[in-house]
């Protein structure tokens, strides 16, 4: 979202951000948007529910997919660098400028081993990303079904 | 970070110590790295179905329990400060409508003849 870049700047400058106010305002926006939206802040809100003594219907502990991983880093616009590469100082770097590709009519040069390894790494990372997206979609589907169930219960007429 | 839990070990492996330091400076490190958290989707859905926010006071009901918090109380529950920058500016999605995209793409690419917008990674811009 647009304002998140502003928040990153504030964090860079070491200025305090009022997270609880941001959350409440964001939740108000989510509740009032006509568009479909994720049920955000699941973990943090569930922590709040616990505080209020809510008896959970189906609480699930955090899974591997809920942790920051390669796909999250790549989704934020960073590239992953292989560990142990002496030419790189950090593991995560911003993407390099795009490399011009040869036209289909040009002969294709054989790929040298390091580049081939890099491509293989990218394929592996993309496969991981695809799998995580697939699981995320399944989770979103479950969220929507849960929301529909609640709405249906609210809208159904009371028993005579 | 996209609704995910930050793993300290993984972040260090990836050279993201600075990010951890920034979370620590905000007083959020413990909250965002807590892997013991859980989520109850049906209760979360009910929360969003019932939630209202008026003058900074959030009200909802979940499984028959009334939930009413303002920022200060919410900060206490989460264990974070409720002070500092709080000007939330929602994104105006209408600017990214289909009719606006070609114009935006022309301006950003500085190619007035561009007919069709296409996605570009932020890092490539």
* Domain match, B84 and B95 both: no
For A84-119, write each residue's pLDDT tens digit: 554 544 456 555 444 444 444 444 444 456 667 777
3-state SS string for chain A? CHHHHHHHHHHHCCCCECHHHHHHHHHHHHHHCCCCCCCCCHHHHHHHHHHCCCCCCCEEECCHHHECCHHHHHHCCCEECCCCCCCCCCCEECCCCCCCCCCCCCCCCCCCHHHHHHHHHHHHHHHHHHHHHHHHHHHHHHHHHHHHHHHHHHHCCCCC
Q: Which residue has the higher pLDDT, A127 or A24?
A: A24
Residue A32 contacts residue A24 (beta carbons within 8 Å): no
Q: A150 and B46: CB-CB below 8 Å?
A: yes
In a domain, A89, yes or no: yes
The tally of domains found in chain A comes to 2
* Domain match, A53 and A83 both: no
Nearest to A3 among B2, B38, B89 (CB): B89
pLDDT at B106: 82
Q: Summarize the confidence of residues B10-30 as an average pLDDT.
A: 91
In a domain, A105, yes or no: no
pTM across the whole model: 0.62
Range of the domain at B107: 91-119
Band the pLDDT of B121: cuts 50, 70, 90.
Answer: low
**Crossing angle between the packed helical segments A42-51 and B41-50, to the nearest 10 degrees:** 80
* Domain match, A8 and A45 both: yes
Cβ-Cβ contacts under 8 Å, A10 against chain B: 85
* Domain match, A71 and A54 both: no
Q: Does A79 touch chain B if contact means CB atoms closer than 8 Å?
A: yes
Q: Does A72 touch chain B if contact means CB atoms closer than 8 Å?
A: yes
* Domain match, A55 and A69 both: no
Two tokens at A91?
Answer: 């593991």
In a domain, A137, yes or no: yes
In a domain, A134, yes or no: yes
Share of chain B above pLDDT 70, in %: 88
* Domain match, B33 and B45 both: no
Q: B56 and A18: CB-CB below 8 Å?
A: no
Q: A76 and B1: CB-CB below 8 Å?
A: yes
Q: B25 and A14: CB-CB below 8 Å?
A: yes
Tell me which residue of B44, B28, B3 sits closest to B81, measured CA to CA: B28
Range of the domain at A85: 63-97+111-160
In a domain, A117, yes or no: yes
What b/e sequence results for A66-87 when a residue is b if at least 16 CB atoms lie within 10 Å of its CB, and e otherwise? bbbbbbbbbebebbbbeeeeee
Q: Does A141 touch chain B if contact means CB atoms closer than 8 Å?
A: no
In a domain, B84, yes or no: yes
Alpha-carbon distance of A54 to A157, in angstroms, equals: 25
* Domain match, A18 and A34 both: yes
In a domain, A116, yes or no: yes
Q: How many CB pairs under 8 A join A and B?
A: 231
The tally of domains found in chain B comes to 3
In a domain, B125, yes or no: no
B34 by DSSP, 3-state: which?
coil
Nearest to B1 among A40, A46, A68 (CB): A68
Would you tell me which residues 24-43 of chain A have a C-beta closer than 8 angstroms to some C-beta of chain B? 24-31, 35, 38-43
* Domain match, A67 and A15 both: no
* Domain match, A40 and A73 both: no
Band the pLDDT of B70: cuts 50, 70, 90.
Answer: very high
- Most trustworthy range by pLDDT among A2-16, A98-112, B60-74: B60-74
Band the pLDDT of B28: cuts 50, 70, 90.
Answer: very high
ipTM of the complex: 0.75
């Amino acid at each position: 979202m647009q304002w998140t870049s502003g928040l990153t700047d504030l964090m860079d400058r070491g200025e305090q951000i009022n997270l609880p106010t941001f959350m409440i305002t964001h939740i108000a926006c989510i509740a009032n948007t006509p568009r479909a939206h994720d049920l955000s802040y699941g973990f943090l809100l569930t922590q709040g529910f616990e505080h209020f003594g809510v008896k959970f219907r189906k609480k699930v502990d955090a899974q591997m997919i809920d942790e920051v991983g390669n796909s999250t880093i790549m989704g934020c616009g960073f590239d992953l660098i292989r560990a142990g590469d002496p030419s790189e100082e950090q593991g995560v770097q911003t993407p390099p400028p795009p490399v011009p590709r040869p036209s289909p009519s040009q002969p294709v040069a054989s790929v040298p081993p390091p580049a081939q390894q890099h491509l293989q790494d990218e394929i592996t990372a993309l496969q991981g990303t695809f799998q995580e997206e697939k699981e995320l979609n399944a989770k979103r589907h479950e969220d929507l079904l849960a929301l529909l169930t609640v709405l249906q219960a609210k809208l159904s007429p009371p028993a005579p | 970070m996209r609704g995910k839990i930050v793993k300290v070990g993984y972040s260090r492996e990836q050279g993201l110590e600075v990010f951890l330091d920034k979370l620590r400076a905000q007083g959020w490190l413990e909250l965002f790295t807590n892997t013991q958290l859980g989520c109850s989707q049906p209760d979360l859905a009910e929360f969003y179905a019932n939630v209202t926010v008026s003058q900074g006071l959030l009200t909802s009901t979940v499984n028959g329990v009334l939930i009413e918090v303002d920022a200060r109380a919410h900060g206490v529950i989460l264990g974070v400060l409720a002070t500092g920058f709080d000007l939330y500016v929602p994104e105006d999605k209408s600017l990214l409508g289909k009719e606006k995209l070609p114009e935006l793409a022309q301006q950003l690419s500085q190619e007035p003849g561009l007919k069709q917008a296409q996605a570009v990674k932020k890092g490539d811009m």
